[in-house]
Chains A and B, each alone.
Chain A
Amino acid sequence: MKILIIDDSRTMRRLLSSFLAPLTENIAEAGDGQAALTVLGQEAPFDLALVDWDMPIMNGLDFVKTVRADSRYADMKLMMVTAQNGFDTVSQAIEAGADDYLMKPLTEEMLFDKLRVLGMAE
């Protein structure tokens, strides 16, 4: 399993990465959507990307849209991880092709619940 964590906050990346550590050693990180695309281009395939919503340069929504428009990454699951709230944002993400959605503040349990739903954890 190979996971990409995309978040502009180092703390969040480290937190998520520590949560995911039991699942895999293959965790890459990127600080914004654009950087994440670069990582994908060089290190794909990934099984899952955790995508923050609000990031500089390229935000999570645009990243999801871009990735979903690229057939190379069709197998990659996309999980939005954000504190954005309201129905609009959630629906936008789903419409754009995100597989699931995780709200901050999150806990390890919440993350693994979602991963189980995606069939990526037991």
Chain B
Amino acid sequence: MKTDLHEQLIKDLLIESFEGLDSFDRDLLALEAGTGGPDILNRMFRVIHTIKGTAGCLGLQKIERVAHVGENLLSLVREHKLTVTRAIISALLRYADVLREMLHLLETTRSEGDRDYSEVLQLLRDLQTPEAAAPAEAAPAEIAPVEMAPVGAPVVLDEEVAAENGWGLFDDSAPTPTPTPTPTPAVPLSVTPAPAVPAAAVVAAVKALPKVSVPSAPVPVADAGAKTSVAETAIRVDVAQLDRLMNLVGELVLARNQIAQHLVTSRDAGLQAVAQRLNHITSELQEGVMKTRMQAIDSVLTRFPRIVRDVANELGKQVRLEMAGRETELDRTIIEAIKDPLTHVVRNSIDHGIEMPDLRTQAGKSPTGLLFIRAYHEGGQVNIEIADDGAGINPERVKQKALEKGLITPDMAARLSDREAVSLIFLPGLSTAAKVTNVSGRGVGMDVVKTNVERIGGSVDIHSELGQGTTIKFKIPLTLAIIPALIITSGGERFAIPQVSLLELVRIEGPDGKNGIETVFNAPVFRLRGKLLPLVYLNRTLELGGTSEMTSADDVRNLVVLQADGRQFGMVVDAVNDTQEIVVKPLGKQLKGLTCFAGATIMGDGCVALILDVLGIGQHAAVLAENRAGTNTSTAAAETTDEGNRQTLLVFDAGENSRFAMPLSEAARLEEFPRGKIERSGRREAVQYRGAILPLIDVANQLGRGPGIVSPDVLQVVVYSDQGRSVGLVVDRIIDIVEEKVVVERHGLEEGILGSALVQGQVTDLLDVRGVIRRAAPAFFTVAPSL
């Protein structure tokens, strides 16, 4: 046999046998659970039988011999001459592992190895003759199979040797002068008188056949197309081949994009039409090739029945595994990437989630725990949920553990919601199990799961209810090779942002937009629908130069709202270009260490654009905690800060020609209220704000500077809070937020004014916030809050 053919056949055998053994395991477990269909034993037999047959044909005598032993046992079971016991199932599982090991050896070393499996094989032989079960003795195990060594490779087969020559039904060497074509299907072989075959029966059978006289005409060679059979609708393709195809399609997409770029300047209608067509074909081709790379998630899930059984047995737990959505498809590279994280979580769920049977009974649950794995498509992603009905995670214990290990501060611990506390298990170095078992312990924890999943652009979320169980939900992208992305410009460079991280785009312009940017704890934030969004200036983070800060009201900035690690942040960019399908090219080894970039892509004009790693950027710019320590940046409250001379100031107008500034840190929030919302009681004005009354103080009026610009319909209000009470300072117009070194000149003349300073080159009065408030509402600082 030619070596490359032989090589190919061995490859086939390996693939086929591994698949077969997976199904074998599955069936075995179904058999144990009593859930198998009627065909289950046949199927199991066939798997081993096929391995034996093909291995034999390829000269793999050791595998053939090992397969033979299992085949004997299975054949007894299949013919109901042997009842399936737990011992048999366990032995067969071990046996399947032996076969796998041999196949692995074959795969890696191209030899069958010389390991000794006699113990398992003897066990299988022993099980064929159950103690008192005499009838089983006569089972076909005694009818030894004929083991023929391939020519040129004689092999001595111990127990089977005796049977080798035992059948002499056909005499191959006898010449049979049957011409072809024959008018009737005669028996073209000489039947030696063998007792088991009544010659008469054979003759009768032959006679019973209908006579047809017309011999088939020779098939013309031109009919070679018939070689591809309709029955065989699926073929196997080497994964490397698919990867190459994918790469080529990627290049084609790039070329298409480049043509599209050139077309912008072309007036050739014919060319336009062809390009259009090329565009469509490329898209379809791309989709088609992507589909060929899709694989049902079943190829991962199929391992779980066995894992669940083994882990549960090891721990003395009872677990029932249910799976749904096994046909859900994913790109095969992703399937590879989620295999280990999923397995880890499954082990964890059994180890830490599901309780011992007696504990479950005490808790009023069924002693058998349920592990439910569900996969389904949702919004261009695949969700995989692993749910158990176990003990759930105690948030207090997680917090305590995190505190002990110094992963969080007591202050943080107090602020964490239960859900956030449970999520702490994703922190590196946190293990809640009282004792570390060898099933899922060893400190390799959920953080690794999380990291691995996030590396492929997915996310993990956990939901746990004490006593009820835990659900871990994975969100996984369908593919990694070609992704939709938003192209943006910053500092004169273009970047791609993967669409999965993108929440929305906000255009900041005019005074309203500009005022939305505030500074809290020296960090820029943007007020988006009442929530503070930490901001990242991309040009600053990547040190690209250029300005992104808004210096005048005419400036326009683009804010890209992103999500990573379950948090949101805004990224200020110069321009938002468009969305595109980009082909992800990995960065070279030298650049792998850069956390801000996920790869590169080639743009339509042939330029290279870097793909931003949103998580990395967020961490680099410190708007996302490196380890999810639970600091809630988005709701950080303003407190007094003690920076040096450099202060962040809120600059505003209040009254005619009156420009004021106050430390931004003294402003809890900036709000706008429609004039119609103002309620009056006596001389006091107030609005309803966050379920309470917010008294309003008109700054200009209070300082005798009013009336300023008559604010049309909307009041600009700076909210000041102290000890749970709030007051609103009404100003005419918020001008800016600036960070400046201010030198204060004190006059000490005017109440409510601390002094004046040059801010942005203009004389600006510094407002004595507390003074103004004290003057307008003397009770504010003295009376305890009524709440």
- Residue positions of A touching B, CB distance < 8 A: 1-2, 8-12, 14-15, 18, 25-31, 35-36, 38-39, 42-43, 45, 47, 54-56, 68, 71, 74-78, 82-83, 85-88, 90-91, 94-97, 99-101, 103-110, 113-114, 117-120
Contact = CB atoms under 8 A, between A and B. Distances in A.
Nearest to B216: A45
Given A14-B8, A36-B231, A85-B146, A2 B226 contact: yes
A96 B210 contact: no
Interface in B25-70: 39, 42-43, 45-46, 49-50, 52-59, 64
Given A1-B218, A83-B145, A91-B202, A10 B188 contact: no
B72 to A, nearest CB: 11
A122 B41 CA distance: 42
Contacts of A36: 231
A10 B167 CA distance: 28
Interface string B210-234: 1110111011010110111111100
Given A9-B50, A99-B188, A87 B181 contact: no
A26 B224 contact: yes
Nearest to B179: A119
Nearest to B140: A86
**Size bracket of the B interface:** 35 or more
A54 B39 CA distance: 13
B209 A105 contact: no
Interface stretch (B97-105, B189-197, B740-748): B189-197
B617 to A, nearest CB: 48
6 contacts: A83-B52, A90-B197, A94-B202, A100-B189, A105-B53, A109-B151
A76 B58 CA distance: 28
Nearest to A34: B231
B434 interface: no
Nearest to A4: B229
A25 B224 contact: yes
Contacts of A114: 172
B10 to A, nearest CB: 8
Which of B148, B204, B218, B227 is most buried by chain A, counting CB atoms within 10 A of its CB?
Answer: B227
Interface string B222-249: 0110111111100010000000000000
Which of A11, A12, A45 is most buried by chain B, counting CB atoms within 10 A of its CB?
Answer: A11
A43 B12 contact: no
Contacts of A86: 140, 143, 167, 196
A91 B200 CA distance: 11
A113 B172 contact: yes
A54 B146 CA distance: 16
B169 A87 contact: yes
Given A101-B170, A104-B53, A107-B150, 10 more contacts: A9-B16, A28-B227, A28-B231, A29-B229, A74-B211, A75-B181, A75-B214, A83-B49, A86-B167, A119-B179
Given A100-B189, A119-B178, A71 B196 contact: no
A56 B57 contact: no
B273 interface: no
B188 A100 contact: yes
A28 B13 CA distance: 20
A66 to B, nearest CB: 13
Nearest to B205: A95
A43 B225 CA distance: 10
Contacts of B191: 94
B9 interface: yes
Contacts of B198: 91
B3 interface: no
Contacts of B58: 11, 15
Contacts of B227: 25-28
B5 interface: yes
B185 A1 contact: no
